Each structure stands twice: as C-alpha cells, then as structure tokens.
Structure 1
Amino acid sequence: MACVEFEHLIVVSIYRPPCCTYDTFENIMEKVFAKLNKQNKSVVICGDFNINLLEASSINIKFRSLFKSYGLFNLFIEPTRISQSSSTCIDNIFTNVKPLHKCIIQKLSSDHCGQVVSLPYVHKKQVDEKVVSVPVNARRLEKFRSNIVKKLPSLSYQNDPNFLYGTLFKLICNEFNNTFTSKTFSLNSRKSFNEWATVGVHKSRHRLYDLYHERSYNHSVEFREYVKKIFKNI
C-alpha cells in the first residue's frame, strides 16, 4: 500500500496478493478508512485487488459493500485483466468524486489493462458564515420578568412622563441584554457522516447493505424474522 496526500485529495494505491484472505484485507482496510475519514478530503483508492467484480460471489458482495459503506464506488465493471484463458475485473478505482472522464487502455505489454480517470479540481475557499441567535425559553423569560419586578420600586418617579418612560425603557433593555445573552453559531460547523461515524457505525451500515442485497433473493420467513429481530434490538 502507498498513499499520497494533496491539499484536497488523497490517493491510495493497493495490491492485495491472491494468497491474502479477505478477512485480513477487510481488517486492514477498516483501519485505512478510519484514518481517511479524519481528513475529510476527496479519496481515490486504486490498485490490483484480485477480487473479480464480474463474478457473482460472497467476497465480491462484501468487497463492494465495504467500500460503498464509506461512500466509495468503483468506476469500472468491465475486464481489466485479459489473458488467453480468462477475462476478469480485478483492477479498479474507487472514489467519492464524480469523474469527468474515465477509460480503459488495452494492448499494453502487461496482461493488466491501464485505467485513466479525470477528476474535477475544485478549489473552494471556505467562508466561515456565522449567525447570531438569542435563545428564548421559559426559564429566561421568568428570570427577565422577576428582575424587572424587583427593580420597579427603585425607579425614580417624577411628574415628567418622558423621564419615567426613558427610565423604565432603559431598565427593560438592560435586563433583556443581561438575561437573553446571544450565541454565535458557525454555519460550516456541521460535520459530515464520515467525520463523526465510528468504525462500529460503518460496520453496522456495511451489514445493512448486506441485508438489503440478500433481501433481493432471500424471501424466507426465517430471514424476515431475523431482520426484524436485528432492528428491534437497535
């Protein structure tokens, strides 16, 4: 595995040997995804995974569901390794970016085809927009009313109604500012799913994808009861 990190993009290159068990590969990738999520950047994972996406197998389903649970989708579903005896799709590119262009280059000196993808470059200067809010609740309203009632007897009453109005208005404004303090919120502070989701949450979503897939062909009563039990426990 090799990794290069740019300002807005992380590129990971992987080779999974055929002798490597899928469980070992998945455990390693879970750790990789946990680190990638902390960066909150666009991701491209490419390489030779030695898992044929053209073959209907449980490993194929687990493999694609694993990447899909982290928002990464494969760009190719056609043969990427062509030999005299086989034609498989074991090389691929997974990304969370919509490509501008993609293609497969054949007739190379290797029996593996080349893959080319063009991604958009978006350089956005994030502006931290803020909004000021004054929370109002029953507790603050009661405090506001109580403080005004307590200070009313101390007001200086004079025959001039304008002076009395100004004094009362000043008292109300001061108590309002002291009671209803403002709070500033950043509109860009909302975290994405990959920022807050733990490895356990990703695994649960991964399992949910598996159940959705199995639902397409498993219509047994036992399976429905099993799914109901899982969601009841949640």
Structure 2
Amino acid sequence: MLDDIKNKSVIVCGDFNIDLGNTVAINDFKNYMGIAGLCPMITKPTRITTHSATIIDNIYTNLHGDIINGIFMIDVSDHLPVFTIYDNFCINTMQDNSFVIIRDKSSKAIEDFREDLKRQNWDQVYTNDLNNAYNAFMTTLINLYDKNCKQIKICAQTAKISFDKPWMTNGLKNACKKKNYLYRMFLKKRTEDAECRYKKYKNKLVSIIRKQKKDYYTNLIDKNKGSIKNMWGVIDTVLHKGKAKIITPDFITK
C-alpha cells in the first residue's frame, strides 16, 4: 500500500492494533511509515482499561499546515474516537442540485444480506493459510453487502441532518452528561471501582432510555388510532422510512 502512495497527499486512518507507546515492538512499523513520509497525529492512549493504556488508533498523514489533533472522550466503543482538523484543507460544498450516495440499510436489505450469508459455502475460510482465509472471507462479505445493500443516489436537498429524539427529556440529557462524566473519571483513575460505577450507571441509563422511547411511540400510536394516514406516518417514522437522513455533521465545533 505504501508503494502506491508516493508523491500523493495522503491521510491514513484506522485501528492499527500496533501500540505506539511500545517503542521496542514497533520499530519496523515506524520505519515503514517514516519512509513513506507519514507521521502519526495521535500521541495519547486511545484504548484504556484498568490494566492498560495503548495508542493503537491513529491518523497518519504527509500533509502540512495548521493542524489540530485530538481524542474525543466519549464511550461510543471501547476505543476513543480520534480526529485531525486541517484549517487549510479545502472541501467543496455541494450545490443545491447535487447528489449524494447512501447505502440501502432498510430492514429488508439487512435481512436479505443476513440470509445470503447463511447460504454461503465458507470452506475457503477454514484453511491453515491465515491470509487466504481472511481474503476469502472479506471478498464474500463485501460482495454480498454490495449485492443486498445497494448504493442509492439521492438529491442532496433531501439529505438533512437530524439529531432530534423527542423522547429524550431534559432529565435524560442531564443523565447522559453524568454518564459521560463518570466515563471520563474512569479513564482518569483507571480503577475497578470507577469502572464499576460508570458501567452500572450506563446500563441503568440505557434501560431507561429504551423504555422512554418505547413509551413515546406507544402513546403516539394511541393518539393516532383514529387516522390510518397518521398511523402509517408514525410507523414510517419508527422504521426510518421517508426522506433519507445523514447523521454525520459537516463541521466540528472547536
């Protein structure tokens, strides 16, 4: 891969599973990236547990300029999200009549994808050659994903950002802030007690939010029982039908 990026502006992001904090074990990796002119943007741990803190998620680039790097202290997974902001990195805004490409991730598409996976012959994956097994698995997975979750071209005007969750009360939003605070305390202290308090609070909060969401739509359906049109409108909302939505913002507030 590195041979193909010479003389190009490159940003390589990912979970490299190579701990940059372990200087002894990563010499070859650092040398390869250095020869390609790629420098790591993240220098602090991205996966933190009670017994370890490793720098395994990173952004490598050969770009220069005004750069802001950082880590989001949020619990979307057991790895902390990383980011890099380039002030002089130009992104063309879409015109009103432009189009965007999204994937069909409807319930039917996902179910068809799942059934196709069940019907596959995976004999090529069960081999002693690890590389061949991985390549066979990924080739089959990607081909079936492309087959069932097709790309759809839609007008950019219909792709609106929406973060509104009407069942999220002010109390629940404040509870989410407390959950995030407990997570940051766990990352700071890295003790079993801090981890236990965070996980206990998070699990309880998730249960409450799920119940709140269920109750919200139950009440909404009850209120619209007298109108078939309104009832189907509620059902379409639950099934995420209608206008396509992109939930990724096109900005980061510093």
Q: TM (normalized to structure 1)?
A: 0.36
Q: TM (normalized to structure 2)?
A: 0.33
Bigger Rg over Cα:
1
Q: Which has the higher strand share?
A: 1
